[in-house]
Amino acid sequence: MKRKTPSKPPVRILKGKAAGVLLEDIDSKLDLIVEKFEANDKRMDRMEERLDQIEARLDRIENEIVGIRILLGQHDDILKRHEEEIVKQALSH
């Protein structure tokens, strides 16, 4: 079975002023695309910098949490020792 290919519209060849106008239009559209791309690139750079700042802040918070856990563990040990001393004193009387 022979496969049919879709028919293509006829290609119009532009000459002279019409071709120049079309090329200028294409060139201006490409310039706009490049400008948008550059603006998006700058925006991405700012977002990456902001993300780096947030990650650094999260690292500092995680370190603070670890420090707090260490202090709480030490505090818990101190409380247990005091509790043991109080029980010993109560039993010795």
Output the pLDDT for position 4: 64
Q: Along the chain (93 residues), what's the average pLDDT of each consecutive run of 10 residues? A: 64 72 90 97 98 98 96 92 92 82
The CA distance from 73 to 65, in Å, is 12
Six-digit token string for 38: 């550059």
The CA distance from 90 to 82, in Å, is 12
**Structural Rg of the chain based on CA atoms:** 37
Output the pLDDT for position 16: 75
Output the pLDDT for position 19: 76
| Single-letter amino acid code for the residue at 25 | D
Output the pLDDT for position 83: 93
Output the pLDDT for position 20: 77
Output the pLDDT for position 17: 78
Specify the pTM. 0.55
